[in-house]
Amino acid sequence: MASFLLRRLILAACVALTVLTLAFTLTRLSGDLAISIAGPSATDADIAIIRTAYGLDRPLPEQFLAWVKRAAVGDFGESFFFKARVSSLIAERMPITLTLGLTGLGIALIVSIPLGILAAVREGSWVDRLVQLFAMIGQAMPSFWLGLIMMIFFGLQLGWLPVSGTGSWEHYVMPGTVLAFSAIPALTRLTRSGMIQALASDYIRTARAKGLSRFSILFKHALRNAALPVVSIASVQLGFMLGGSIVIETVFALHGVGFLAWESITKNDFPVVQAVVLVLAVIYVVLTLLADLFNAVLDPRLRG
């Protein structure tokens, strides 16, 4: 177990380092950053001042090392546009993105687990087909468009929910539902296939032979085994959702990390952009690491 843990940790560190390099390279793509920071009305003298002030005149490897050194202790420098520390900007907005991500995941699990069980129990029937069709529709739904349609319907026509902002829990209902749609297809299919496999196994036949109740067989014996992969994929899905929430935060004007990233991209605020890419990637790496460990604890065969 110790060597498994160590190997996983080294892998996670290597991935983080690769993404760090990528995040840095990303912001250097546009050529001369000093020109884009200075804006269209700047003179050559202004640009030269900015170049020295931000250390952009030094060689790239030196800039990279300086950035990595500071990023390692959570210091991402200062935002050009917001005139604030990047780390405090992200910390300030992270709760909104996390609330949105967890709401989305919660809704996705509440919808997909019962649907997956239902489809597995009635495998091959019209109920099963309907559930699979639903998963496929969810997969084809453009999230930003679904958000706008829900705004028109629930926000304007019915007046049930607020269309933008973050004042109360109601503000998270629509964005959370839209975000959930990105995870529902995968989670539903996984629950379904896991349950079908579990229901066909020997221990379920034994449980049936013992005369256990249908409820006990389904929820105590089959679901417990089928739930394992669902739990680990759910944590990976949460990572994807935090990365994908940028679109939904922009549609619903939720001022979370995704919205911050979008604003910074449109304003060429590169310290914020590279920090958000890095933070989201690290969160994903940590989530997958936890999922792997969780699985290894529950299933010794995976520790090899």
Partner 1 sequence: MRRSGIWIGGAILTVVALAGLLAPWIAPHDPYAQDLTRRLAVPFWMEGALPEHLLGTDQLGRDYLSRLIFGARVSLIIGAMVVVVSGAIGITLGVLGGFFGGRVDDVVLFLITCRLSIPVVLVALAVVGLLGSSTSLVVAVLGLLLWDRFAVVARATTMQVRNLDYVAAAWAAGSSTPRILVSEVLPNIMTHLAVVGTLEMALAILLEAALSFLGLGVPPPLPSWGLMIAEGRDFMFFSAWVIWIPGIALFTLVLAINLLGDGLRDLFGAAPS
Give the interface with partner 1 as residue ranges (CB under 8 A). 11, 14-16, 18-19, 22, 26-27, 29-30, 129, 136-137, 139-145, 148-149, 151-152, 156, 239, 242-244, 246-247, 250, 258, 261-262, 265-266, 268, 270, 273, 276-277, 280-281, 284-285, 288
Find, among 118, 247, 93, the residue nearest to 178 by Cα. 247
Min dist. Cβ of residue 275 to partner 1 (A): 11
Nearer to partner 1, 112 or 182 (CB): 182
Query: Which tokens is 107 given?
Result: 């809704």
238 phi-psi bin (left φ>0, alpha ψ -120 to 50, beta other): alpha
Give 88's Cβ-side CA count (13 Å radius): 6
Min dist. Cβ of residue 214 to partner 1 (A): 27
Nearer to partner 1, 7 or 220 (CB): 7
Min dist. Cβ of residue 50 to partner 1 (A): 17
Nearer to partner 1, 16 or 161 (CB): 16
Nearer to partner 1, 22 or 66 (CB): 22
Nearer to partner 1, 190 or 218 (CB): 190
Distance CA 22, CA 15 (A): 11
Distance CA 209, CA 63 (A): 69
Min dist. Cβ of residue 16 to partner 1 (A): 8
φ and ψ of 261, to 5 deg = -60, -45
Min dist. Cβ of residue 209 to partner 1 (A): 30
Count Cβ neighbours within 10 Å for each residue of 251-263 and write b for 16 or more, e otherwise.
bbebbbbbbbbbb
